[in-house]
Amino acid sequence: VLDRLVGYNLSPILWSKVKNGLSAGRVQSVALRLICEREKEVEDFLPEEYWSLDADFQKGKSVFQAQLVKYNGETPDLKNEEFVNQIIEKIKNSPCTVSAIKKTEKIVRPKPPFTTSKLQQAAANRLSFTSRKTMQIAQQLYEGINIGSSRVGLITYMRTDSVRISETALTEVRDWISKQFPDDLPEEAIHYSVGKSAQDAHECIRPTYIQYTPESVKEYLSHDQFKLYSIIWERFVSSQMRNAKTMNTSIDIATENAIFRTSASKVSEKGFYNVIKLLSSKEDKSTSLPSVKEGEVLQVLNFHPEQHFSQGPARYTDASIVRMLEEKGIGRPSTYAPIISVLLDRYYVVRSNKQLVPTQLGRMISKILVESFPDVINEHFTAEVENKLDSVEKNELVWNTMMSDFYFKFKKRVDEVMETQESIKGFLDEKTDKVCDLCGKPMVKKLGRFGFFLACSGFPECHNTKSIPLAKCPCKDCGGDIVARKTKGRGKEFYGCTNYPKCNFISHFKPIDQYCPECGWFLVEKYDKKNGSYKSCINPDCHYLHSNDGTEEIKEDES
């Protein structure tokens, strides 16, 4: 009811002053504010230059690399190349000795089973799923999958803020572990504490039947269902296993006024890692260290100075905005995915390489709401409302009292804003050099539900609209433009030719306003973990791949 009161009163302000079809809400608008404020931090950030210095050391036939960690007894502040070169000149001919070898054992504890927010974060980070996709697939696993001749619900209810495990489930999982990994079964079941703000209406997200391992039901699941079920099953089983242990080793190499350090970590006891698929990748990344003793003399071979620039704050992703909302006590497990979906659907936010970037419309909406309702569109108010709702549920606070205290002040402010806020309808409209092919009047770039489009300035007499051309179609003798389109049903965006159905050219990557210097086809922006964002030619017979500034040729990550 409270959310409806806020949304039903704020949204008409946007319809009247900005554009029809917009919306605002108690939680949604705070999430938008967080995203817009982070974008401002990204824009204001000024990168600073700094350097690192590595060196190659040799012991017999073994060569390894270490990094400078101390200079003149302090952590070095390597701000420029000149200073780094001065250090190299001073130490390049100095004797090098192993000054310290340190070994420490680290205990790695298993994580609790999933809550809704933690599942969304893990699926985003490990599987690249959006919050909406995660909840859709979780719903399918909860409602049931046809396994053989019967339909089986594979997981418990997926909207929960609790890590509580039922006694029956604890007995079943401990029985399974005792048979499969008897050495990794703790003497007693592990009970995880439930947060003070948790409603605890449902237990954790877990497999309903532990004997249905991911591999045993793989043939009955889609690819994405299998991946999500796997991390749910792994997380639950591992939560009831013994700790893992790693042995961390560091070697310090001392030369004149400088200390270089190399380190490595190796899993010494697998414990719960036995059921976590990520273990193999962790082990692959561990580096082997040379067999050396303290006081041993080494030979320095080469120095590797490297320039860096400080990184600004990262834009929010699905995972990080959900984590932030959860940490600040904003929203409920059932609202996290819908919040992100609404921001995207309203075109307040767009996804760019998995990051959530506010549009000009989103930033304007947030500015209006924050300036007009600073006491409502802020994280502290929203979190306090969540606490008061919990108090109402526990009969510690009277619902009517809470509502009346809020509503009359809020409604008075809504009326004031409706009367004083200037209309900014059409503030995003842009004139273009395009001419309407129906009436001859200029076309205007306007913002619609699915982004920008071209509309005749003669509206309402002329209703002509067109998609905005992004590139010329590369097909021979076509002459059409490439525009954004959406599939029927799911509404997934792709890029096709305006001459369809005569031309069937499509691309799943968005064209950028550049053309390939080698073949003339348009370029698209791609992204992978190895290279980050880069541009690539859409021509399947052309292998042009370059960094975004065009200065560096790269190789596509095929992993």
C-alpha distances out from residue 170 to 83, 182, 184, 195, 276, Å? 60, 15, 15, 20, 19
**Residues 300 and 333 occupy one common structural domain:** no
Question: Alpha-carbon distance 537 to 546, whole Å?
Answer: 9
Q: Is residue 492 part of a domain?
A: no
Structure tokens at 438: 């129906």
Domain stops at, among 466, 495, 522: 466
Assess whether 157 carries a catalytic annotation. Answer: yes
Among the listed residues 157, 209, 500, 515, the single catalytic one is 157
Co-location of 72 and 146 in the same domain: no
Indicate the SS3 state at residue 338: helix
The total domain count for the chain is 4
**Does residue 443 contact residue 452 with C-beta atoms inside 8 Å?**
no
- How many CB atoms are located within 10 Å of the residue 112 CB? 20
Which of 388, 420, 452 lies at the terminal end of a domain, its last residue? 420
Q: Are residues 204 and 124 in the same domain?
A: yes
Question: Between the CA of residue 495 and those of 3, 287, 308, 433, 499, what are the distances in Å?
Answer: 38, 44, 37, 23, 12
pLDDT of residue 487: 77
Q: Helices 399-420 and 2-17, interaxial angle, to 10°? A: 0
Claim to verify: residue 284 and residue 232 sit in the same structural domain = no
Is there a single domain that holds both residue 162 and residue 191?
yes
- State the pLDDT at residue 449: 62
Residues 147 and 215 in one domain: yes
Specify the pairing of strand 150-152 against strand 297-309.
unpaired
Asked whether residue 476 is domain-assigned, the answer is no
* 196 and 90 in a common domain: no
Is 270 a member of any domain?
A: no
**The domain spanning residue 387 has which CATH number?**
1.10.460.10
pLDDT at 317: 93
Q: What phi, psi does 339 have (nearest 5°)?
A: -60, -50
Alpha helices in 239-298 (DSSP H): 279-285
CB of 98 within 8 A of CB of 292?
A: yes
- Please check whether residue 140 lies inside any domain of the structure: yes
Specify whether 91 is located in the same domain as 139.
no
What pLDDT is recorded for position 360?
Answer: 85
User: Does one domain contain both 449 and 414?
Assistant: no
Q: Average pLDDT by consecutive 10-residue portion of the chain (559 residues)?
A: 77 86 87 95 92 93 93 93 94 92 95 94 91 94 92 94 93 96 95 73 92 94 95 96 94 94 92 76 57 92 94 91 88 83 89 87 91 84 72 73 76 87 75 88 80 84 86 85 78 83 88 84 79 81 76 56
Task: With respect to residue 271, please indicate whether it lies within any of the assigned structural domains.
Answer: no
Residue 111 located in a structural domain? no
15 and 74, same domain (yes or no): no
- What's this model's pTM, rounded to 2 decimal places? 0.72
Amino acid symbol at 548: N
Tokens of 169: 């489930």
Residue 256: give its domain's CATH number: 2.70.20.10
Judge if 121 and 227 occupy the same domain: yes
Angle between helices 131-143 and 336-345 (to 10 degrees): 130
CA distance 129 to 226: 13
String of DSSP letters for 203-240: --B-BS-TT--HHHHGGGS-HHHHHHHHHHHHHHHHTT
Residues written for the chain: 559
Cα–chain center distance at 254: 41
Q: Do residue 363 and residue 304 come from a single domain?
A: no
**Residue 154 sits in a domain of what CATH number?**
1.10.290.10
The DSSP secondary-structure symbol of 18 reads T
Structural domain includes residue 365: yes
Within a domain: residue 499? Answer: no
Asked if the peptide bond before residue 442 counts as cis, ω within 30 degrees of 0, the response is no
Residue type, 196: K
The domain in which residue 297 lies consists of 49-103+248-265+276-309
